[in-house]
Chains A and B, each alone.
Chain A
């Protein structure tokens, strides 16, 4: 089955800096790679996703890149703000019907 590794487990940055979180996956048939943000006491929420037919996707300050050959994908947050502080999860799956497998999460702390 799929296995997703996520690094780092914790990340501390100053407000305005960039943050990068990296994930690798094992199943070469996986073709869907979302990122979720979990704020304290809440369930995770989707912030961005990418499918295997594209290499990069951006949404304002957030971008995700995918390297299918190397089987890794990354989340990039630019101009970080204190409200970006949360736990971030990457995940992978085949889009056609199987369930998402998550990485272990990265706790991002943005200090002002």
Chain B
């Protein structure tokens, strides 16, 4: 069982470059999320989706865009990367929230912006 898979796992960008992080889940979950993790800041929600074709802003959405064209995929885009976006990014998914609130996380994508 793959669970939640994130690609790439590591990436180095120069300021101003763009990139897309891909998250794929094989559990048929409705909900998907992107978090960033920074030292001393914990996990902060960037964007999330409650179903195919829907997205919503989280705590720190500025500088990021997302798309959920297919139920199993959730893409996180950086149009013009900044050093402040250096972080470890985690994707997560969950089933119908009324059944269980458990989030299943990927192993993270470490992004460095120079």
Contact surface of A with B, Cβ cutoff 8 Å:
1, 6, 9, 32, 34, 36, 41-46, 49, 89, 93, 95-97, 99-105
Contact = CB atoms under 8 A, between A and B. Distances in A.
User: Which size bracket describes the interface of B in this complex?
Assistant: 20 to 34
B45 to A, nearest CB: 5
B103 A101 contact: no
Given A43-B90, A43-B92, A43-B108, A100 B45 contact: yes
A102 B90 contact: no
Interface of A is mostly: loop
Contacts, number: 61
Most B CB contacts (10 A, CB to CB) among A9, A99, A104 go to A99
B55 to A, nearest CB: 12
Contact of A95 (B40, B98, B107): B98
Most B CB contacts (10 A, CB to CB) among A9, A89, A96, A104 go to A104
Given A42-B107, A43-B108, A44-B105, 8 more contacts: A32-B101, A43-B4, A44-B103, A101-B59, A102-B44, A102-B45, A104-B41, A104-B42
Contacts of B45: 99-102
A96 B42 contact: no
Interface string B4-21: 100000000000000000
